């Protein structure tokens, strides 16, 4: 096996690992928000909404963390992974 | 519509910093070349930083109750806008000099100093005081990463360091409460904790 082929395979593996990392960033952020919600349920006013003001119902930190994960996973990660894969196939 | 409590404003900014941190972490993972392949993505994080700076102005106007507090918020607004605008100019190709990249470490350093200077109380006075000190040192130490990126722009470790600095800043901002103890400490001068 030529050294060029070995280095190309190593590069492709590194790109796959990077794509996996990008793919888990969103779900990991969401998981962080869910775990926080379980650890501090009193910060989720949606669970006990009676008597809460508008801002307490709108701004709930664990839900905001989940929202960041969702935005990244749905809007940013797919295109980024696609571009990484294009990069990998162009290098082959 | 009532004005939101100050802690809610901190949580909203924490969300902005978390999104910024996650985007910069992804950029550090894939490299600037792949990240900037789509134009909208290249503009995303500088625009977000610039917007956070713009949004800091109403916070300065409506949520500060002392001169030093107001000056600190004004300094954050200005430096975040400067760093965001400089990065936008670099992405667009309007700015060429590498020195413009110094705006980002400058923003973090000035923000860190402003946080430390405007907090008049000790670490364990209340949670807000603790977070001001912790955020100040986080921003000051975190300023090293974009500074190193000026000289080694392709080094992913520095990019990841910057991203994680922003994630830590967001965690600290999410921990903020108007009046609350920190590790069991709360000065009687801080007021009555609520919620």
**pTM for the predicted model, two decimal places:** 0.91
Provide the pLDDT confidence category of residue A70 given band limits of 50, 70 and 90: very high
Any domain includes B195 = no
Angle at B126 between CA B125 and CA B127, to 5 degrees: 140
Residues β-bridged to residue B182: B185
CATH number, domain of B110, equals 1.25.40
CB-closest option in A59, A69, A83 to B37: A83
Residue A76: list chain B partners with CB under 8 A: 23, 26, 41, 44
Q: What's residue A92's pLDDT?
A: 64
Q: What's residue B176's pLDDT?
A: 86
pLDDT digits (tens, 9 = 90+) for B140-184: 999 999 999 999 888 889 999 999 999 999 999 999 887 788 888
CA B51 to chain centre: 12
Residue A43 pLDDT > 70: yes
Any domain includes B130 = yes
Report the b/e string of B129-142 with b at 16+ CB within 10 A: bbbbbbbbebbbeb
- Contact A77/B30, CB-based, under 8 Å? no
Q: Measured between CA atoms, how close is A55 to chain B, in angstroms?
A: 6
CA dihedral B101, B110, B9, B41 (to 10 degrees): 0
Name the DSSP class of B36: T
- Contact B15/A76, CB-based, under 8 Å? no
- Contact A83/B4, CB-based, under 8 Å? no
CB B145 within 8 A of CB B109: no
> Per the structure, how many domains does chain B have?
1
CB-closest option in B2, B15, B44 to A64: B15
Any domain includes B19 = yes
If one counts every other C-beta atom within 10 angstroms of the C-beta of residue A40, the result is 11
- Contact A76/B23, CB-based, under 8 Å? yes
Tracing tokens 């709930």 back to the chain, one arrives at A60
pLDDT digits (tens, 9 = 90+) for B3-56: 888 889 999 999 999 999 999 999 999 999 999 999 999 999 999 999 999 999
- Contact B14/A64, CB-based, under 8 Å? yes
CA B49 to chain centre: 9
Q: Measured between CA atoms, how close is B3 to chain A, in angstroms?
A: 8
ipTM of the complex: 0.89
Show the domain range for B27: 6-190
Average pLDDT in the A47-59 region?
A: 86
Average pLDDT in the B122-126 region?
A: 87
Among A23, A80, A88, pick the best mutation site for testing chain B contact (most B Cβ within 10 A): A80
- Contact A22/B11, CB-based, under 8 Å? no
Q: What's residue B119's pLDDT?
A: 85
Paired tokens of B194: 């609520």
Among A11, A51, A76, pick the best mutation site for testing chain B contact (most B Cβ within 10 A): A76
- Contact B14/A55, CB-based, under 8 Å? no
Any domain includes B1 = no
């Amino acid at each position: 096996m030529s050294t060029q082929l070995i280095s190309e395979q190593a590069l492709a593996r590194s790109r796959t690992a990077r794509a996996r990392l990008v793919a888990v960033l969103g779900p990991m952020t969401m998981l962080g928000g869910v775990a926080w919600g379980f650890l501090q349920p009193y910060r989720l006013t949606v669970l006990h909404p009676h008597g809460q003001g508008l801002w307490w119902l709108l701004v709930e930190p664990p839900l905001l963390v989940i929202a960041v994960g969702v935005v990244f996973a749905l809007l940013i990660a797919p295109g980024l992974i696609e571009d990484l894969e294009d990069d990998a196939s162009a290098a082959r | 519509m009532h004005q939101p409590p100050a802690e809610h404003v901190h949580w909203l900014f924490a969300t902005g910093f978390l999104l910024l941190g996650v985007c910069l972490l992804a950029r550090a993972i894939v490299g600037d070349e792949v990240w900037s392949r789509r134009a909208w993505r290249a503009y995303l994080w500088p625009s977000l930083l610039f917007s956070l700076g713009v949004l800091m102005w109403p916070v300065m106007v409506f949520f500060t109750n002392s001169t030093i507090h107001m000056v600190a918020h004004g300094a954050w607004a200005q430096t975040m806008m400067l760093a965001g605008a400089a990065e936008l100019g670099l992405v667009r190709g309007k700015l060429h000099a590498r020195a413009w990249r110094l705006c980002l470490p400058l923003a973090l350093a000035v923000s860190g100093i402003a946080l430390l200077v405007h907090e008049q109380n000790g670490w364990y006075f209340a949670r807000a005081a603790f977070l001001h000190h912790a955020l100040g040192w986080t921003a000051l130490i975190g300023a090293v990463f974009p500074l190193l990126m000026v000289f080694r722009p392709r080094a992913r470790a520095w990019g990841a360091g910057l991203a994680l600095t922003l994630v830590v800043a967001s965690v600290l901002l999410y921990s903020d409460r108007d009046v609350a103890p920190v590790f069991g400490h709360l000065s009687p001068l801080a007021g009555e904790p609520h919620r």
